[in-house]
Amino acid sequence: MRRFHSYGPIDGSEHFCVQRQDLIKRCMHQLVGNPEKGGHFFTIWAPRQTGKTWLMRQVKAQIQQHYGDKFIIGTMSMQGTVINKTAPEDLLLSKIPHLFWETFAQEIDVPDTWEDLKDIFSWKKGLFNLPLILFIDEFDSLPPKIIDRLVTLFRDMYLKRESYLLHGLALIGVRAVLGVDSDRGSPFNIQRSLHVPNFTKAEVIDLYQQYQHESGQVIEPVVVESVYDTTRGQPGLVCWFGELLTETYNPGLAELITMAVWQRVFHRALTMEWNNTVLNLIKKAKSPDYNEYVIALFSQADIPFQIDMEWCSYLYFHGIIDAKIQMKANGEEESVCIFSSPFVQRRLYHSLTSDIVGDRLPILVLDPLDDLSDVFNSQELNIPALIDRYKSYLKRLKAKGLNPWKEQPRRSDMHITEAVGHFHLYAWLHHAIGRRCVISPEFPTGNGKVDLHIHCQGKRGIIEVKSFTDLAQLQESIAQASVYAKQMGLTTVTIAMFTPVEDETVLAKLSREVICDTVRVIVVAIGWY
């Protein structure tokens, strides 16, 4: 029986596989173009573990099936071509013989110059006697200056293609545009680009139906929907959750894979299971060059998505963020940044909480004699009373000369980045009630809005975490919170509103309790400094 596979290219004979025929045909038609005159030079791009290498292999097979021996097809990979970023450009030339032996099983001499490398593709004195279609995988793992040199070389061959046998070229990596930083002013401006998209919901359902058909084990449809909703169809994550559900945490082939199994798998994926793709995303998101933008996404829902902004394109091409199209109040369309999937957002939230707050808080989170009876001994969880404990904790920190906001990320106006408060409150709740309750962050909008859900002894409560902007925005937050509470079947919701003031009089005036559409909305203003 086949199995789910999330590391490296998929083999359809051994692994469950989505046959993406439309994508394969589109890529093949770009490469072949006019079979008699020439195809296109373009990029195939997507984040890691999305099926780029699989696509390359499928397209190669389709071209061979449709065109027989009309083309020579080469699939070259730069993954093992280790070149230091500070190495001279000509160092790649010494690697060429090995690359061509791996790809075409032909021995060649080391090219003396870049012009000699071009000659390999020449129809007069080159290596090939038929039109060549070439895939170069992991192309953007090369140093930028070598990418620049190669892109310039390929562009020159494209513009003089009557002299060369390079019929079609696909550069495969995570970036859509290559060579734009060329010192020679010759970007790869004749390129097209082909994005490998995430799986659709129908494709995820098909993938899991393949497993059910071959194994005979039933997976509840709501589980498959949860896989799609959690990953937004990211192929590597979809297949990883397939591995966890059907192998690591499978209750047995005779048993249903139920939502209870899914909830266990999801928790373990968040806290215990290793995944190289996820670890790579976290590492890139926490890079000093991009960390502040990622943190901002946890407190701002209106950060514009601009592909021309370097930080935005970097996070997008690596699969950390995506673009959401929405309408403004004036009817105009706008694009804003959101996280690429709820799972990636949750993992980043936990990781950043650990970075910002640490594993331990510096003093006791509660008074030693505090039994929290007023929090738990009522019909509903008394969330405002719990947040008052958090405010008391902040005061005790200040009395001891401890500042939890010291050296934390700040905005250009020197106010603390709002998301820092979100992370700190979440960490405090875990220390204060983590043994008695389950505290889970939820992100209904994919950015900006953070809700903390608390489940304890059959009771539940919601804290909507906000940052104070102005009174008009506060009124909007109250209305939105009431709608959300109603959707959750709750009669009360609490807004924890971080406010950049310490004056208790101001905080008391901002704190309030109102009835909004039958829902009791309680606002607790929290000062920070």
> Using CA atoms, how far apart are residues 485 and 435, in angstroms rounded to an integer?
25
pLDDT average, residue stretch 100-110: 93
- 185 pLDDT more than 60: no
Buried b (16+ CB within 10 A) or exposed e, 151-160: bbbbbbbbee
Q: What are phi and psi of 89, to 5 degrees?
A: -60, -35
E-strand spans in 367-457? Answer: 438-442, 450-456
438 pairs with which residues across the strands? 455
**Proportion of the chain above pLDDT 90, given as a percent:** 69
- 355 pLDDT more than 90: no
Largest CA distance in the chain: 89
Which of these, 148, 103, 139, 141, lies nearest to 121 by C-alpha position? 103
Q: Which residues contact 466 (CB under 8 A, 6 or more apart)?
A: 477, 495, 496, 497, 498
- 177 pLDDT more than 70: no
Lowest mean pLDDT among 369-378, 401-410, 492-501: 401-410
pLDDT average, residue stretch 11-24: 95
- 200 pLDDT more than 50: yes
Token pair, residue 463, equals: 């804290």
E-strand spans in 354-411? Answer: none
> Using CA atoms, how far apart are residues 396 and 378, in angstroms rounded to an integer?
27
Is residue 132 within 8 Å of residue 166, measured between CB atoms? yes
**What is the pLDDT at residue 411?**
58
pLDDT average, residue stretch 42-66: 93
Token pair, residue 290, equals: 């991009």
Angle at the Cα of 1 from the Cα atoms of 209 and 244, rounded to 5 degrees: 65
> Using CA atoms, how far apart are residues 178 and 414, in angstroms rounded to an integer?
37
**Proportion of the chain above pLDDT 70, given as a percent:** 93
3-state SS record for 99-164: HHHHHHCCCCCCCCCHHHHHHCCECCCCCCCCCEEEEEECHHHCCHHHHHHHHHHHHHHHHCHHHE
Helix (H) or strand (E) holding 69: none
Token pair, residue 163, equals: 């002299």
> Using CA atoms, how far apart are residues 181 and 369, in angstroms rounded to an integer?
63
Which of these, 397, 418, 394, 396, lies nearest to 408 by C-alpha position? 418
Ranked by mean pLDDT, the top range of 203-217, 314-328, 341-355 is 203-217
pLDDT average, residue stretch 409-413: 58
Residue 81's pLDDT band, with cuts at 50, 70 and 90, is confident
E-strand spans in 298-367? Answer: 321-327, 333-339
- 80 pLDDT more than 80: no
The owner of tokens 């030339």 is 93
Is residue 498 within 8 Å of residue 467, measured between CB atoms? yes
Which of these, 207, 208, 268, lies nearest to 51 by C-alpha position? 207
Which of these, 57, 55, 94, lies nearest to 75 by C-alpha position? 57
- Better-scored residue on pLDDT, 123 or 250: 250
Which of these, 340, 360, 356, 388, lies nearest to 523 by C-alpha position? 388
**What is the pLDDT at residue 186?**
42
Task: Work out the mean pLDDT of the chain and round it to a whole number.
Answer: 90
**What is the pLDDT at residue 90?**
78
Residue 174's pLDDT band, with cuts at 50, 70 and 90, is confident
Helix, strand, coil distribution of the chain in percent, nearest 5: 40, 20, 40
Buried b (16+ CB within 10 A) or exposed e, 162-181: eebbbbbbbbbbbbbbbbee
Reported as a single tens digit per residue, the pLDDT across 259-277 is 999 999 999 999 999 999 9
Q: What is the CA radius of gyration of the chain?
A: 28
Helices 276-285, 342-357: crossing angle, 10 deg rounding = 60
Residue 190's pLDDT band, with cuts at 50, 70 and 90, is very low
3-state secondary structure of 53: helix
**What is the pLDDT at residue 251?**
97
**What is the pLDDT at residue 79?**
80
**What is the pLDDT at residue 191?**
52
**Which stretches of 68-90 are DSSP H helices?**
none
Residue 2's pLDDT band, with cuts at 50, 70 and 90, is very high
**What is the pLDDT at residue 328?**
81
- 529 pLDDT more than 90: no
- 184 pLDDT more than 60: no
Is residue 486 within 8 Å of residue 519, measured between CB atoms? yes
> Using CA atoms, how far apart are residues 482 and 408, in angstroms rounded to an integer?
32
Residues in the chain: 529
Residue 317's pLDDT band, with cuts at 50, 70 and 90, is very high
Q: Which amino acid appears at position 252 of this protein?
A: G
- Better-scored residue on pLDDT, 7 or 224: 224
**This prediction's pTM:** 0.88
Is residue 23 within 8 Å of residue 44, measured between CB atoms? no
The half-sphere exposure of 329 on its side-chain side, counting CA atoms within 13 A, is 1
**What is the pLDDT at residue 441?**
92
Is residue 138 within 8 Å of residue 43, measured between CB atoms? no
Residue 70's pLDDT band, with cuts at 50, 70 and 90, is very high
pLDDT average, residue stretch 145-162: 89
Reported as a single tens digit per residue, the pLDDT across 83-93 is 666 667 778 89
**What is the pLDDT at residue 144?**
83
Is residue 296 within 8 Å of residue 309, measured between CB atoms? no
Is residue 72 within 8 Å of residue 169, measured between CB atoms? no
Reported as a single tens digit per residue, the pLDDT across 329-338 is 788 899 999 9
21-195 has which fold?
A: Rossmann fold (3.40.50)
Which of these, 317, 324, 357, 264, lies nearest to 446 by C-alpha position? 324
- Better-scored residue on pLDDT, 327 or 241: 241
Q: What are phi and psi of 496, to 5 degrees?
A: -95, 110
Which of these, 493, 409, 406, lies nearest to 449 by C-alpha position? 493
pLDDT average, residue stretch 456-478: 90
